[in-house]
Amino acid sequence: MKYMDKEEFEKANMFGTGVPNEMFAQYFIGDSFLNPLTKPGETPVFLANVTFEPGCRNNWHIHHAESGGGQMLICTAGEGWYQEEGKEAVSLQEGSVIYIPAGVKHWHGAKADSWFSHIAFEIPGENTQNEWLETVSDEEYNRL
């Protein structure tokens, strides 16, 4: 379901918007918010609810790992997009689950006309790291 009204979106966003995602703001176009659901180091997997304002998306990026690794997204509220390099964008809504293998260049974010949240978690692996790349241009994004 699409939400342009933030108050209505907040009612549906069961894991909470959290705080401005200042640590990673340089890798996003638009405002994003982060609500950690687990504490780093206390569990083997860090979970966070990431919220995107309408039109917000992260840069192209790759989750690297020597073995294992990658990322999972569980969409919880609103509507968004996920795209792998060289493939058509996938429309996301509540209940969508995306598995992103290590080494796959991709981006994700909100649709232009909806707030969007997903729970993101990095899949454990050996020597994992995230490589942030170029922005998703307005031209690329507006074609969706």
Residue with tokens 């907040």, as numbered in its chain: 10
- Burial letters 27-55, b for 16+ CB under 10 A, else e: bbbeebbbbeeeeeeeeeebbbbbbbbbb
The first and second tokens of residue 1, run together, are 């379901």
83-111: pLDDT as tens digits: 999 999 999 999 999 999 999 999 999 99
How far apart (Å, rounded) are the C-alpha atoms in residues 72 and 47? 10
Q: Rounded mean pLDDT of the chain? A: 97
pLDDT > 90? residue 81: yes
pLDDT > 90? residue 44: no
Q: CATH 3.40.640.10: does it fit domain 6-124?
A: no
Report phi then psi at 69, rounded to 5.
80, -170
Q: Residue 48, Cα to own-chain centre: how many angstroms?
A: 10
Q: Which pTM value belongs to this model?
A: 0.95
Domain extents in the chain: 6-124
